[in-house]
Amino acid sequence: MEENLSLKEKEKAEEAMIEQAFQELLNDYLHTKHRKRVEIITKAFNFANQAHKGIKRRSGEPYIMHPIAVAKIVCNEIGLGSTSICSALLHDVVEDTDYTVEDIENIFGPKIAQIVDGLTKISGGIFGDKASAQAENFKKLLLTMSDDIRVILIKIADRLHNMRTLGSMLPSKQYKIAGETLYIYAPLANRLGLNRIKTELENLSFKYEHPEEYHEIEQKLVATSAERDKVFQEFTAPIRAQLDKMGLKYRILARVKSIYSIWNKMQTKHVPFEEIYDILAVRIIFTPRNMEEELNDCFDIYVAISKIYKPHPDRLRDWVSHPKSNGYQALHVTLMGNNGQWIEVQIRSERMDDVAEQGFAAHWKYKEGGGSEDEGELEKWLKTIKEILDDPQPDAIDFLDNIKLGLFASEIFVFTPKGELKTLPQNATALDFAFSLHTDIGCHCIGAKVNHKLVPLSYKLKSGDQVEILTSKSQRVQPEWLNFATTSRAKIASILRKEDKAKQKEGETILAAFLQAEGIRMDESALDKLTNLHNFHTPDELLSAIGAKRVTLGDADRNVFKEKQNKSWKKLLSFSFGGGKDSKDNKDQIPIEGKPAEKINPKEILKLTEETISKDYIMADCCHPIPGDDVLGYIDEHNRVIIHKRQCPVAVKLKSSYGNRIIATQWDTHKELSFLVTIYINGIDTIGLLNEVTQVISRQLNVNIRKLSIESNDGIFEGRIKLYVHDVDDVRTICNNLKQIQNIKQVTRVED
């Protein structure tokens, strides 16, 4: 009896919690400028609440709390109205219950049903178990955007709430979801102008992938906040006085660089936290005297503050006259503060700030019924994506790379010889411009004239360039174009693939005749041996090279069938497999001790034997992990475990694209093996410096140096030292000891 009473009390408490959460959503909605369609929102909530009744999330809370939370994000943080709020409340109903899209349409009308249908099609994350499925799902995601962009906005809200509650998931699931978020959802949010959400998605992804680094930077930001606040107050005081004189209504905000952005800059620039000088930026948000004067007010403010502080001549960014493709408008200027540091100032009106925070969602802010607003640059972007989708045989990862490139890119504006304005991503080359005009022009281009001067196809264009493309009928698409192409990579790769198929066919004929003459059967084993001999990644590459006469078969190929390979590895790592009730397919696990993969318990911690390791365990060449690095394992198509650093760009792709093949990995060593690492050093050149460096490494630390190279220029030196270490602790000790040498200013481990 007491148990029943306790259960009823628990249910009552849950119902009260659900009701309170929904009332908070309604209150938030009533404070917006949207039409007050409370009745349909209440109807959607009651319907979803009943449909999900009794279902719990992994965290133990009632499932309906998730749709309510997504609806709150949609309302408060993206700024959408009742149609989107209803769709957010209903977004999991069709996927998780017996209700259909037709049921939704009958009860809530065609518009909400269309959005819920779009969300259902891309449910469960963008990526599935197979590469082709991933590409297909991603295509669906993008194609839904052209029907109603609210589908992707609600999907981003859904992912944001999932990231905020990621702590209840298993580590291997966390890696997959965080990697996928950083690879796809954050740049999508950025492309749609949702800067605040983009930043939070990046920070949360980073927090779960590198918790120690995240908390270290977080603590340093807290420790330096008082100093930053002082700089902000002193820097803005004369600006406030000047804006007051101008009679403007305004507010000035301090914008602190995100933890992920700080870490990213530390990695790319190889500098410590203390040497990141653009952590603080200033944002001026003003109310224009009238809408006709909005742009003029921006430039008036710029002129006024440039009289107070000296502006950097190369860092004026005019997004007012030329808005970004996601609708972003602002004037960015970098000023020299009295403390000797450059500080970026962003000038924007209240309307511009609204667009910056809510992006394309601002289209629906005052017009909940939707309509056929002209998305302008977004439509052009969607058209480009559809052209990529038309490629008959896209490789999933190449496809994602091309899309990602478009998502991340900032825009430049260039002119044709006749003065027509063209928009291209930043870092676009003359070759990309040629392909943007027409595929035939791209295929036959031999060079370009930029501002009437001859330049190579690899020339990176800048805003304001006038570009003329030079062509020749005898020109053909070259493989090396892929090295510098950006937006045209997909088209070039597609053309090269078609040409490569013909070479492969020719190569197959030549190889078959060679093997037949030697009495060797042409099977997978034979192809793999020859592929390894000639250092190709795949048999197709080998066949193509044979067909193109780049490889001539001879004695070395005959001898390879007589050789036996011998490899020996030490026990280095232990692996743990994610799983539990969220795992739908465990068929990609490693076969251990002869057990078939599907029989392995996914929760089991596996200590690999020496035999297993020698067969299945490889250190990735792209990032060269060593003991102590944050690493993960990826099970490739040959059931080998490839070990990557977690921040390795290749690992980022694998996490987002092959999440079910990712396993959590821990080092299990006792300083038995040595690994080659590269240490970068720089500083002020002095006599005897090289001797001091070698003394510290070889004599004090007893470390074996493999290669040391140092260059000096105008009194500044920089060098790279390749040496053998056991683990990350050794690297840390070496770096700390080298930093003690006078005149050495920077010491850091780098990838070579």
Q: Which residues belong to the active site?
A: 95-96
Q: DSSP 3-state assignment of 496? A: helix
Give the alpha-carbon dihedral of 538, 539, 540, 542, to 10 degrees.
100
* Residue 174 amino acid letter: Q
CA neighbor of 672 nearest in space, from 523, 537, 572: 572
C-alpha–C-alpha distance, residues 473 and 244, integer Å: 64
CA distance 493 to 481: 9
Spatial separation of the C-alpha atoms in residues 442 and 493, rounded to whole Å = 13
C-alpha distances in Å from residue 16, one per residue of 11, 29, 332, 467, 674: 9, 20, 48, 65, 60
Spatial separation of the C-alpha atoms in residues 632 and 622, rounded to whole Å: 14
Cα–Cα nearest to 436, from 377, 491, 508 = 491
Locus of tokens 């007012």 = 320
Query: CB burial class (10 A; 0-12, 13-18, 19+) of residue 431?
Result: buried
Which secondary-structure segment (H or E) carries 231? helix 225-245
Cα Rg of the chain, angstroms:
29
**CB < 8 Å & 24+ apart, contacts of 226-229:** 228/254, 228/256, 228/279, 228/280, 229/254
415 beta partners:
421, 466
Q: How many angstroms separate the CA atoms of 428 and 405, rounded? A: 11
Please name the amino acid found at residue 509: T
Cα 585 from Cα 579, distance rounded (Å): 9
Which of 582, 514, 516 has the alpha carbon at shortest distance from 543?
A: 514
Calculate ∠ Cα 389-393-397, nearest 5°.
Answer: 75
Report CA dihedral (680, 684, 685, 686) to the nearest 10 degrees.
-120
Tokens in use for 711? 């260059």
Phi/psi at 176 (5° precision) = -60, -50
Residue with tokens 């000639």: 534
Say how far apart CA 623 and CA 677 lie, in whole Å: 10
Q: Which long-range contacts (CB under 8 A, 24 or more apart) does 239-247 make?
A: 239/282, 239/284, 239/305, 239/308, 242/304, 242/305, 242/307, 242/308, 243/284, 243/286, 243/301, 243/304, 246/300, 246/301, 246/304
Three-class SS of 513-548: HHHHHHCCCCCHHHHHHHHHHCCCCCHHHHHHHHHC
Residue 332: which region, alpha, beta or left (left: phi > 0; alpha: psi -120 to 50)?
Answer: beta
Strand order from edge to edge, sheet including 617-619: 605-607, 573-576, 662-667, 631-635, 641-645, 617-619
